[in-house]
Structure 1
Amino acid sequence: MQQGMLSSVLLSLFLVFWPTNLSATEMEPERAEQWLRSEQIHQKVGELLQYVIEDSIDSLDFSLERLALPQQEVARYLLLKKLEQQNIILTPKMAIFVEEQKRKIPTYQILERNDGYEFSVPAFNYPAVANRLMKRWEQDQSTLDFVLKAERNELDLKTWLSGSEYQKKTREALLIRELDSLSPDAIITLTNQLTDELVTSWLPSTQVMVRLAQVSEDPQVYKLLWLMKTDEVSRGELDRLAMVADEFALQQIMLATHNPSLKQQALRNLTRIKPMSTDVKAFLISRMALKEDVTFVARELANQGYTSWLEELVTQDKSVKDRAILQVLSP
């Protein structure tokens, strides 16, 4: 008796909480494809799309509800697909309409078979499309909020990049993606929050710092970046600068040699610059005057074909550690 009561309770809970459509109607895949290709439905969707453009949601709802099934579900699906494919920006009223589509349960199901299992999927899965549209809309809203706050000088980086790990990662990705769309003044305001601190107590992730450095081209941001713990992101930026190899980029590579973890990579990148500028030559000569760097720099230069220059330095420049250089040059 108790087992029977328990089964009844479990069944009741299943029916209440399981998001299924008990009145679902099976449809053959071929029939669903025919509906999706229906010229009449596509014409109707064109009319519905005009309501979207006019932001006339009441008319849109009314027109959809007047359609019989399955035309109504096909039209909902195709309309939302058009919104997705055409990247139509949702107004607040349209966002409410799309949100409502997420909660609707499709009537028509297609039976699929795979690995001996049978399962039903919506023939016209407009809730899934609506879900993607709402995610994009939420991202658009977050982007707009970021841009407006940054342009109004109201964005506090430390506060904005705090919160749960998911929120931090999401906002970091947004900043990295949208930073170069900000005005120069907005970018300066953001970087000043980091560079104007007398004592640096907080810095964002390396990914964010690299993007801030790239977009701002602020040597002080690069200086902070090179002071951070080295990772593959900062190493990647060092290699990118070497590929750019303009005067600004080379200055930042030289600055990176102050980080012990980046020093050899930075020096190696400098020895590979061709043609080598006067500033880079002078910098490498200064490093060959240091006992801890001379052997490494001389070996890298020799590997790049600068043996004649090294021989010349040994005889003409008394500042370099000539014995160490000669050891590198000796067979």
Structure 2
Amino acid sequence: MGAVTVTLHLDGVTKDYGDATALRGIDLDVEDGEFFTLVGPSGCGKTTTLRCIAGLEAPDSGTIRFGERDVSGLPPEDRDVGVVFQHYALFPTMTVRENVAYGLQFDPPAGSVDERVDELLALVDLSGMGERMPDELSGGQRQRVALARALAPEPDVLLLDEPLSALDARLREQLRLEVKRVQRELGITTVYVTHDQSEALAVSDRLAVIHDGRVEQVGDPESVYESPATRFVAEFLGENNCLDGRASRGVGGETGGSVVTVGEREFEVAGDHAGPVTLCVRPESLDADASHNQFAARVTDVEFLGDAYRVHFDWNGRPILARLDEPLSGSVTLGFAPDDATVLER
């Protein structure tokens, strides 16, 4: 079993709903066989983008191509896409086997339907459950059925719209590994929509952060997390301490980098920066034993996370968040390495 995979191109895709603009010129390239995630807050345009790819919405302008084929004006049934929705959308009066086989009546497989269904049920770890009804399954099992049904006709592109958001946290973590395993096994070009930042970081080959109908940044999870391109990305993808200041070149002390002045405090940072900037430091980069960029802050709250403590500080009226190995209280000296800071132009 193996799907025909394609590259996916979106060029200048826009979409309006009356006076509201949902998409403002979306440009994306999804590589052949890639697991690509659209992540952003509710209402940012990620689901609208997915629906335009699926043909469930028509863009007002721009083009969508699967390889060299322009599918912009084609209906969903002519696009060779499989779609998995948030709320399963299974037929309640059909068995698991009948649900998976439903799409095959329009696009029969090369072999027998029964063999194809058995193959898919094995792929999603539901062998032996073909005669059950949807209401006899758990939420995670229902979503596996929905995934198998979407894959049954061997689509060129697999689209998943918040497929795990209705599940509890532990089941979400388990099922996202299963979704990724299936995608890798088939090598199918996949676009995945989620508002969950940790989920996006965990499953993606690459991801696009969407905000207000625009693409803020595209890249692999590590590079986007460690080197955000905008303040929105820095604050949305994981937690971050973002402080406005002014940078000066060539006065970086030991580092040979730059200095960012926030209030009256100077911080050494790597790189060549000048003018108004935003200094971003991840909570896990702050350390009470750091030798660089020290500053005194007052503890205002402590949260126990199991493997660490989430410690809230007040620094001259500015909220600061740190992820530390032990709870602290009172006034504490924190610091961070120059290389651990991200500096964004304002």
Q: Please indicate, yes or no, whether the TM-score normalized by the shorter chain is above 0.5.
A: no
TM-score tier (shorter): under 0.3
Q: TM-score, normalised by structure 2?
A: 0.25
Q: TM-score, normalised by structure 1?
A: 0.26
More strand by share: 2
* Higher CA-based Rg: 1
Greater relative contact order structure (CA < 8 Å, 6+ sep): 2
